[in-house]
Structure 1
Amino acid sequence: MKRLGSPRLIKRWRRLAWRAVPLLATALLLVALDQIARYGAERWVLVQLRADAQAAAELRAAVLRSEIEKQRSLPVVLAQDPDVRAALSEHNPVMLRALDARFETLAAGTRASVIYLLDSKGITLAASNYREPTSFVGSDYSFRPYFRHAMAEGAAEHFAFGTVSRRPGLYLTRRIDGEDGPLGVIVVKAEFSGVEDDWRRLAGPTFVTDTRHIVLVTSVPGWQFRAIAEITNEERVRIRASLQFGDASLDPLPIVVEGDDQVRVTMPDGGAERVFVEAAAPVPSTGWTLHVLEPMAATANVAIAAARVLALLGGALLVIALAFGWYRRRRALQKRRREERARRELERRVEERTLELSTANDRLREEMDQRQHAQSALQGLQDELVQASKLAVLGQIAASVAHEVNQPVAAIRTFAESGGLLLARGDTLSAGGNLATIVGLTERIGVITGELRAFARKTPGHLGPVSLREAMEGAMLLLGHRLREQDITLEIDLSAGDILVVAERVRLEQVLVNLLQNALEALTGQTGGRIRVEARAEGGNAVITLMDNGPGLPDAVLQALFMPFTTTKPAGLGLGLVISHDIVAEFGGSLAAANRDGAVFTLILPRVP
């Protein structure tokens, strides 16, 4: 056995060390070249990106200024218009309605968000959005800074969050003077959604800040009304009290300055940190500052990669030459080592195979014992299956009641909240109507729970003539608010007249609610959503068709649609359509589904002669 300090072993280690010196020197050279190339490329990229970002900031600031200047001329021109002055002086309803139509046409032609006229008390007399539910006509804006400043100084510009439209924009105002003093104020609101959309198609974020460093216009939706500098609590309270930015948090942006005009940004919605080059340019005539963040990653990676390739090319030739020499010298040694490893690998595989055969034999005996235990437990499992079946039926009934009672309870809450708002406004007549509706919904919950007790007694519901129109109106009572909330168009075609079908009123409404709710779920997040319900008489049956323009049903779901727990909803139970199918079958009808430019459900019920 060789001793550690023997002369032969020491000589061998020295020889290995001298052979490693050229390789170590070559590796150090390659590392040094790589680092030098990387540093030079980063400096060059930073200079180029800084120049590009500054040019982009100045160009976008000029475009934004052009958009603002285009809107600034509107209040100036309208303030001199004789029709506007006459309408303010006389408060003639005919003249004011004519101004409504004129403002509407003018706003569409100039792409202004809204144009409206305020009297000397801040009350809106005419507005371009007079046709919309959120019309400004009759609203009091005397508390708004743009009105107060215009009345005091003759003109004002104020960027704020719309109290009615809930959309931010720049309010441009001009005072209209009469012979006896100020008559009122003309207001033009400019929104920048089109500019923001254009910015979103660019590589990096773009945003505009005011003198308080609060973001007003941005290509990143989550950044609006946040700040690039810390805002004191006193300033935060004052801003929120003015309602300029609604209930915005005014929190600082996730931007960390790293020097050399570089910033590190945490992108919204869980995005990773990215490094940008920042450039800023003032927006003339506004007091705003436009910021551009130019991403470094793509440009820097390409430049660094090219520099590193060029720098390492020479070193690579040297490495190749050294590797070739080492290869020839060690070829014979590697061959002997491969043969030795092959022999050892063969012995190892023989041992592993022997162990595997022994293990497989033991596992086979264990499986035989497990099968004997499984055979003895089979009888017990068959007995438990009956009990499990009973529990499944009970669970389906409980899920059905929870599924259906939740809808009128949600509607009761909506009508109660609406009634509270109506009472706060003094509209007791409408609030009384909401309370009456809530009473009807509670009666409906009683009918649904009564149906559960009837099911428990195994007594079927009473079938009789039911008006299809009334059943549809009852379903609309529960889902009307969701249609409006999702801005979905509902078309009901009962041109064949009111059809009487053989059914039970509450359970028929239950089926219609389930079908309409499934259509609403399919249209979630889709613009231009549309649901169409048609009813016609065919022989002794009534055929009701419900169609939507959603994505339709997947083929796999369509084949098992009326089987329990088949659903496309992430939180769905998969019982609604099963229950509906069973209810329709009890009525003597049928329920089928298909895809045709969206999902189509066909409900066939026997018609009252």
Structure 2
Amino acid sequence: MTHAAARRSIPALRRGWMLFVAVWLVAAVVAALGAGEAARRNAQAELARQAEAAAALHAAVLRSELEKHRSLPLALAGDPDVERLLETPGVAQVERVNHKLEDLARQTRAAAIYAIDAGGRTRAASNWRLPTSFVGADYAFRPYFINAMRNGRAEFFALGTVSGRPGLYLARRVDRADGRPLGVVVVKVEFDALEAEWRASGEPAYVVDPGGVVLITSVPDWRFRTTQPLDERRRRLTLIDQTLRPESLRPLPFATPQGDRPRLVQASVGAGEQRWMHAQVGTATPGWTLHLLSPSRGAIDVAVGAARALAALVVTLIAGLAAVLLRRRQQARARARAEEEARLELERRIDERTRELRDANTALNRQIEERRRAEAARELLRDELVQASKLAALGQIVASVAHEINQPVAAIQTQAETAGVLMDRAEPERARGALARIGDLTQRIGAITQELRVFSRKTDPKIEPVRLEDAIHGALLLTRGRLDEGGIELIRRGDADVKVRADRFRLEQVIVNLVKNAAEALEGRPGARLILAVEHDADRVRLIVADNGPGVPPAVRDQLFTPFVTTRANGLGLGLVICRDIVAGFGGELDLLDSQDGATFAATLRKA
């Protein structure tokens, strides 16, 4: 090849490489942007799931706190001492009720409990010893007193006239036997402890009433602020004291997103402004909505940056490989053109090109080895992610069965108190019976915790002959109170005096779960009925649990025994899955039967 031809080929090669570099840069930018956007969506979706789960947990804690205190006014409204105090107040009666309310407030951690006569004057209060005692105060002007006297009950959120502390006032009217109102009992609930727990979690949370006014919050500066400007319509919906100054009801320092889907918001909480994932969920109180801000902590930016870097690296590796191939092609052409040169020059150039190819091959082998190591690291990371997923599932199962332990613990407490009373009455035989039931309930708790260990170790249950009536009796011991409380009629059919192959405590768990599901479905329905029927033939026994509730929606029937599928707003969708696995471990089957009314579950077991 002549020197003139070589000089002419240099600009062409340069233009080719410039085009190659331009294509590589464009491809790298496009890949990085696409990967970054995908990573952003995935990171936001994960933050949204975490925020929804945290909001649901906060709402459950709030619901528990409110339900505990709502039962107090109802119980006190029927207390004979309170009725006598409001009808014919006397010094001895006032002192007795003062001590009773004081003890009750200390045990339930209520801020204040007091009784108001029909004229609006406070006759007894839990804080009667304090300088800020309500005794003798006139509360006839308070909305909760007016509404309770008119409607029988009232709930009102306001600042205390004496303490100046915010709280929820739960009021219930006290009536005589002839229906004449005697007065009102009031329980004030303050949420300082609950707000402190929320504040310690590092996730700002606040609860708003139907008018959009913040009632409970982990950020004190947000209290009585509004999610939107408070017009006349929204002011009529709110539960707070209408006498609050308008400047106290100014909007929150950030725009609260509308709709139920979690969204990112920019807000300043504490030191500096940052992005938060906002989630909201309803509570047991009608119109109350819990809002939660979950910190992003830069997770989205980190995910986007990592995805972009990885995409750019992959494109660069592909471009490098393409460059090597292109370079080899150019070298081949150069060798073809160099054949016109002298043999010595050709041999020299062949040796030079051979060395270059050897170096390129070494570099390529090194890249291949690095890729193999990266692949091995990726496989290890995948195994770790699989194990983490399993542990997360185990945590959800623990959360789903934790409420099963609370019932035996409450029953143990009741039986222990009963045993103490029987011992005081010198009835040792009946006391031993109560203690024996405590032992049974303790074994029940052990069986529930054993279920979690079986799940993690994949162990087989202990199968032995079990009298079906014993298992049904133990289950009803835990659930009968729930049925009575809901006004549910229990109907027993068939002879349960038959032995089956099972583990007694796990069988009780299955029956408890089915009965509780039926009780929840029947809640608030008139004429609620639950049927426990036993059918058996030569070698099989079938336990049927049927109710006359709303039944299972057709859209859920085919996936009812699939994990995390549930028809309840606060359900985890694991109870029926665990029950079916338990029954399958006994060598039986748990199925949902077709029925015209309500839901019917059948557990088929082997006869012993």
- TM-score band by shorter chain is 0.3 to 0.5
> What is the TM-score normalised by the length of structure 2?
0.47
Q: Kindly name which structure, 1 or 2, has the bigger radius of gyration based on alpha carbons.
A: 1
